[in-house]
Amino acid sequence: MTRSTRQGEGTKGTRQARSDRSREQILLAALDLALEHGYQGTTMAAVSASSGLPIGSVYWHFKSKEQLFVALLEHCHKAWTELHSGPEGLRRKLHRGIAGLSGADPEQYTKEEALLKAAAVWALSRQLGGLGEDNEVRAAYLRMRVEMFKVDVERITESVPADVVERFPDLPTKLTVLSLALTDGFYVHANSDVHLELDFAEYADMAARALEGLVDDYARRAAGKGQ
Amino acid sequence: MTRSTRQGEGTKGTRQARSDRSREQILLAALDLALEHGYQGTTMAAVSASSGLPIGSVYWHFKSKEQLFVALLEHCHKAWTELHSGPEGLRRKLHRGIAGLSGADPEQYTKEEALLKAAAVWALSRQLGGLGEDNEVRAAYLRMRVEMFKVDVERITESVPADVVERFPDLPTKLTVLSLALTDGFYVHANSDVHLELDFAEYADMAARALEGLVDDYARRAAGKGQ
DNA sequence: GTCTATACTAAGATAGAC
DNA sequence: GTCTATCTTAGTATAGAC
């Protein structure tokens, strides 16, 4: 985004604008392909074909496959951050995580968020051949994950009564871990098209009830003389 | 490891026995490698090197990489079935699933069970390039998963009061799905070596309490006039 | 900046001697 | 049944014309 002299040019724009558009096309093509085929499964040739740009152009914009995916993760992380700026209770979080990611609630579904969840699986250390130890994509993802985890904890803290938090300071962290585990777990299920199709909305509700019950337990303990 | 002489049959055994031993060596090497590197990440060359047998022998015993992994899954499924023959309550199941798989409780940890959990992730449909649609490994895994799911449901049914089951017949299934999601989710965490190391035993306990709370809810509803 | 043609490499698989 | 040498393919990446 250096020169912005947007003279006339309806559809085409400046050379810079055209380049930017190409870059975005590549990124969006990679997003779709990555959701469908994963990291290893997404070939640069496929990105080229799907974006409509020749492979040379892809390598002009991104110097390697790793760099392309780092850029893709950054794109998704940015989208995630914007999406998660308002308040969000435990129940809504689980609903978005379980029913949204599974695609059961299209309202809550964004490809960017789904890709971040997919990346969690790619990043399984040493696993999958996908993202090996010294892979920049993995490193970038782990950085973002720490960041997103912090945001999650803060937002979950808001939805736990203040006195309970005071009595059990690490409860929000634990709830965050549990809800993350649940969403990750359902993500695995949702994308495994195993047996009967599940009613994810109902499971989101059950999961929320289960965690809320846990909070109630701690609240009771906080109200009593404490354990 | 040359063949040399067939002196005392004690350790060496017949030619058949030697062949069987080779086959097992290959499977065990593949098990370790697969846990470490996943499906894509495990190369036939590595299996050959790690097992001590040349690649030609590996292909003599298993006609393809896919067949090798199908055999490996069968080996693990057999181990799983033996392991899960006795009774096992919800709490113990979650402990095994969360603390065991993470390695936090070595007592509960078996490589075979861990591999099956890893395979759940590999099987993410269309994902990872690992196990594509028409992959025999994936098909074999999905068959086993259905089987194991049934066993899980039956065993969880036993740990829910009979009257509650009668009132809410699909509750055991739902609990099974939730506990599967939790264990899958924690498996992802445990193998992502992200931020702070978690106390999986404690999380196993929290998860158990959360689900037990859910059961209590249904029990109360069953006791009352019902929802 | 865009594109075609091609070099390089890793990995699955096979042939055939022993 | 075991092993070495080799074939084949697919996928990342680059060179260089336009």
Read off the pLDDT band of B59 (50, 70, 90).
very high
Closest-CA distance, A90 to chain B, in angstroms, reads 14
Q: What is the mean pLDDT of chain A?
A: 87
For chain B, percent of residues with pLDDT exceeding 70 = 87
B15 occurs within a structural domain: yes
Q: What beta strand segments (E) does chain A contain?
A: none
B71 and B55 part of one domain:
no
Note whether A57 and A91 are same-domain residues: no
Provide the number of structural domains found in chain B.
2
Q: Please classify residue A92 by burial: count the beta carbons closer than 10 Å to its beta carbon, then call 0-12 exposed, 13-18 middle and 19+ buried.
A: middle
List pLDDT tens digits, range B144-189: 999 999 999 999 999 899 999 999 999 999 999 999 999 999 998 8
Which residue shows structure tokens 């912090």? A150
pLDDT above 90 for B51: yes
Q: Answer whether residue B146 is part of any domain.
A: yes
Higher pLDDT, residue B170 or B194: B170
- Flag whether pLDDT at A10 surpasses 50: no
A55 and A78 in a single domain? The answer is no
Q: Which residue has the higher pLDDT, B142 or A219?
A: A219
Quick one: A133 and A54 in the same domain? no
Q: What is the CATH number of the domain that holds B19?
A: 1.10.10.60
Q: What is the pLDDT of residue B94?
A: 95
- Rounded Cα gap, residues A177 and A153, in angstroms: 9
- Checking if the pLDDT of A225 tops 80, the result is no
Instruction: Tell whether B145 and B189 lie within a shared domain.
Output: yes
Q: Is the CB of B44 under 7 A from strand C?
A: yes
Cα separation, B154 vs B152, whole angstroms? 5
Q: Is the CB of A54 under 7 A from strand C?
A: yes
- With a pLDDT cut of 70, the percent of chain A lying above it is 87
| The pLDDT of residue A179 | 96
- Where are the alpha helices (H) located in B42-167, listed in sequence order? 44-51, 55-61, 65-83, 90-94, 101-102, 111-122, 136-158, 162-167
* Same domain assignment for residues A40 and A18: yes
Q: Would residue A98 count as lying in a domain?
A: yes
In this model, does residue B196 exceed pLDDT 80? Answer: no
pLDDT, mean of residues B68-93: 93
pLDDT per position as a tens digit, A114-144: 999 989 888 775 554 456 666 889 889 989 9
Q: Is residue A123 part of a domain?
A: yes
pLDDT at A1 (0 to 100): 37
Please check whether residues A38 and A116 belong to one and the same domain. no
Separation between the CA of A61 and the C1’ of D15 (whole angstroms): 17
Question: Based on the number of CB atoms within 10 Å of its own CB, is B40 exposed (0-12), middle (13-18) or buried (19 or more)?
Answer: buried
Q: Is there a domain that residue B2 lies in? A: no
Q: What are the b/e assignments for A136-160, b being 16+ CB within 10 Å? A: ebbebbbebbeebbeebbebbbebb
Q: Which residue of A has its CA nearest to B183?
A: A185
Same domain, A55 and A118: no
Q: Is the CB of A22 under 7 A from strand C?
A: yes
Residues A154 and A190 in one domain: yes
Q: Has residue A1 been placed in a domain?
A: no
pLDDT digits (tens, 9 = 90+) for A26-79: 999 999 999 888 888 899 999 999 999 999 999 999 999 999 999 999 999 999
B129 band by pLDDT with thresholds 50, 70 and 90: very low
Q: What phi and psi, each to the nearest 5 degrees, are found at residue B208?
A: -60, -45
Instruction: Give residue A203's domain range.
Output: 74-223
Q: Which residue of B has its CA nearest to A146?
A: B195
- Within residues 55-84 of protein chain A, the ones with CB less than 7 A from nucleic strand D are 55-56, 59, 63-66
Asked whether residue B20 is domain-assigned, the answer is yes
Residues A44 and A94 in one domain: no
Q: What is the CA radius of gyration of chain B?
A: 21
Q: What is the CB neighbour count within 10 angstroms for residue B180?
A: 22
Q: What residues of chain A lie within 8 A of the CB of B183, using their CB?
A: 185
What contacts B16, CB < 8 A, 6 or more positions away?
Answer: none
* pLDDT score for A193: 63
Radius of gyration (Cα) for chain A, nearest Å?
21
Q: Which residues of B touch A193 (CB under 8 A)?
A: 125
Higher pLDDT, B36 or B79: B79
Q: Does B1 reside within a domain?
A: no
Identity (one letter) of the amino acid at A21? R
The string of DSSP letters for A64-121 reads SHHHHHHHHHHHHHHHHHHHTSS---HHHHHIIIIIIHHTS-GGG--HHHHHHHHHHH
- Verify if strand C has an atom below 7 Å from the CB of A14: no
